[in-house]
């Protein structure tokens, strides 16, 4: 029986019949074969991991659960307000509650979306609770957004606007969104 990765095509060596990874070629399951993955690769190459975001229906319950599951001992909580640009329309972040906790060298963000049609609200309504974004720091969000779009990523939401973005969510077709945060910006509390 052989086990082959669906992500990394492998081949057998004539000598031992074992699977090797040295003969990788782009194929239908290679991570770099899809345009969306090219967008991800193009913008993540030189970025620093910042956080991962989990959308939740009940922030208080999620804080208790993730304190135990992830070992986050302290949470900083607050409520978002102000505008975001979602697919060209202004939406309000009002009513969105968040909690941020330290997890190793990074952060975890729990998001309970408000009633407005934000990206977090859409994901909660369509897929339910769970991990939905991985956040990275960028020096120039506008340039990062242009580069990502040029490689096929879709800009889902920008905060507060496209002229001076401090945070943006991108969909590169991988199932998880990429959050780009301007280095040095106050986030989110």
Note the pLDDT tens digit of each residue in 69-123. 988 989 999 999 999 999 989 999 999 999 999 988 899 999 999 999 999 999 9
Residues 99/75, Cβ–Cβ less than 8 Å = yes
Kindly report the pTM of this predicted structure. Answer: 0.76
3-state helix, strand, coil in the chain (%, to 5): 20, 35, 45
Residue 94 counted as domain residue: yes
Q: Which domain holds residue 50?
A: 31-182
Look at the chain and report how many structural domains it folds into. Answer: 1
Distance in angstroms (rounded) separating the CA atoms of residues 16 and 21:
14
Residue 23 counted as domain residue: no
Residue 140 counted as domain residue: yes
pLDDT digits (tens, 9 = 90+) for 10-21: 333 344 343 333
User: Which of 78 and 185 is assigned the larger pLDDT?
Assistant: 78
Residues 127/54, Cβ–Cβ less than 8 Å = no
Give the model's pLDDT for residue 13. Answer: 37
Q: Residue 30: which pLDDT band, with cuts at 50, 70 and 90?
A: very low
pLDDT digits (tens, 9 = 90+) for 124-174: 999 999 999 999 999 988 988 888 888 888 999 999 888 889 999 999 787
Residue 22 counted as domain residue: no
């Amino acid at each position: 029986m052989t086990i082959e990765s669906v992500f990394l095509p492998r081949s057998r060596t004539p000598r031992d019949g074992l699977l090797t990874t040295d003969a990788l070629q782009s194929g239908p399951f290679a991570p770099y074969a899809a345009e969306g993955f090219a967008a991800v690769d193009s913008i993540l190459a030189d970025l620093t991991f910042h956080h991962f975001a989990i959308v939740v229906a009940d922030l208080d319950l999620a804080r208790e659960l993730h304190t135990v599951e992830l070992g986050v001992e302290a949470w900083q909580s607050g409520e978002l307000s102000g505008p975001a640009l979602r697919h060209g329309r202004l939406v309000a972040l009002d009513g969105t509650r968040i909690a941020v906790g330290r997890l190793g060298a990074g952060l975890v963000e729990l998001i309970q979306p408000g009633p407005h049609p934000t990206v977090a609200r859409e994901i909660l309504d369509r897929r339910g609770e769970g991990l939905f974004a991985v956040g990275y720091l960028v020096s120039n969000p506008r340039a990062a957004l242009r580069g990502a779009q040029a490689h096929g990523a879709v800009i889902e939401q920008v905060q507060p606007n496209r002229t001076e973005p401090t945070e943006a969510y991108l969909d590169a077709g991988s199932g998880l969104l990429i959050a780009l945060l301007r280095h040095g910006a106050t986030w989110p509390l």
